[in-house]
Amino acid sequence: MIDRYARPEMRHIWSLENQYQSWLDVEIAVTAGWVAEGHVPAEDLAAIRANAKFDVDRIAEIEETTRHDMVAFTRNVSESLGDERKWIHYGLTSTDVVDTAQALRLRQANNVIKADLAAYKDILATLARKYKHTVMMGRTHGVHAEPTTFGLKMARFYQAAVRDLERFERVAAAVETGKLSGAVGTFANVPPTVEEAAMVELGLTPQAIGSQVLPRDLHADYVTTIAVIGTTLEEVATEIRGLQRSEIHEVEEGFKGGQKGSSAMPHKRNPIGSENIVGLSRVLRGYAVTSMEDVALWHERDISHSSAERIILPDATTVLDYMLHRLTAILENLQVFPETMLANMKRTYGLIYSQRLLLKLVDAGMSREAAYDTVQPLTARSWDEQLQFRDLVDADATITEKLTKAEIDDAFDYNWHLKHVDDIFKRVGLAD
């Protein structure tokens, strides 16, 4: 991932230095497994733990000849050891190390993302509670529908964040798995007992069965879930973008002193952070497609997935980390304008109360069809002629014969639409 979208912790996790360190961790853990098996002397393991090291530049130098990064790595590590070097990579195939070590780095990335998700969920909870009763226009098809609250909108996003954390914890656990079963998964040269001991040291789950590689449906599920999470972030970002439009202006991304919105127009304050989230979510969905195409390999393995994974796994985790961090910051600094929300509700002449009025007429004895046919012409006239809907209702004899002034007043009270806000907050776990 380009530096612009890579935070320091993720940049380190996916660095070449950390890759080789994870490889070395696996090699040492396997040697420990052989010691437990009684095949390798304990003193040789002690020497390896104390002295084994690698040099990134030296590995690159050796790889110029070997054209194989794992061979270059093991030869470089052997240069730091004495006779005990013979136990490095003993009985292993390259992918035993690569796949298992990748699980170690994924676990590191998972821990970062879990913390990101928790912080993101918390800010949504804070906003939901703060604006629980802040009335605003609910919109369907981009058009005024009925009143809601800004808190309910945030509570809906909070619930999605809860699901995001749950789904990520599931796939994170699934990819924190390793295998040491050899070239075709038969454990011909490394017995399952060695694998089990090594996985205990590494803190990974041994995969029950594999081929030369771990099953790639695990990683497809993982990357696809990351894409789903990214898409839920896009939903929040899209909402902010919509509400920040000049014609609406109910929220606005924080704008720091000295910040510039446009190179040409000094007045511009653009929702660039939210737009950034939208763009990166598209990247994640592309990675999801690639991850699924990596599942079907030839027989017990080919390497068509390898080149793709070198890109999509670091990039997907790095991008999601960046997106979560940036969107959380946007929400923490979000400017909310309750007065504008209330004012905007009046822009459609009171038409937002048409359903409530219709139902009151039904309750007063009219058929639903008759009530609908009574109310709709008034709504059409209100909209077309830019007249207040309430004035037309008060002048309609059919309605005033059925409803008292108090009943009509009640129909035009937005508080009716908010009476179950507390109930909804309880259902999503945000009750005071």
- Angle at CA of residue 284, ends 279 and 285, nearest 5°: 95
- Of 49, 16, 4, nearest to 30 by C-alpha is 49
User: In terms of C-beta distances under 8 Å and separation of at least 24 residues, what long-range contacts does 399-408 make, across chains too?
Assistant: 399/357, 399/361, 399/374, 399/375, 402/361, 402/364, 402/365, 402/366, 403/360, 403/361, 403/364, 407/360, 407/364, 408/357, 408/360
Annotated active-site residue 299? The verdict is no
DSSP state of 81: -
Helices (H) and strands (E) in the chain, counts: 18, 6
CA distance readout (Å), 142 to 64, 238, 384: 59, 12, 18
From 141, 246, 267, 299, active-site residue? 141
Give start and end residues of each alpha helix (H) in 131-204: 150-175, 192-202
Q: Is 80 an active-site residue?
A: no
- The angle formed by the CA atoms of residues 348, 349 and 353, to the nearest 5 degrees, is 85
Residue from 12, 68, 262, 307 carrying the catalytic annotation: 262
Q: 335-336 and 251-252: which strand pairing?
A: antiparallel
Q: Active-site residues: which are they?
A: 141, 262
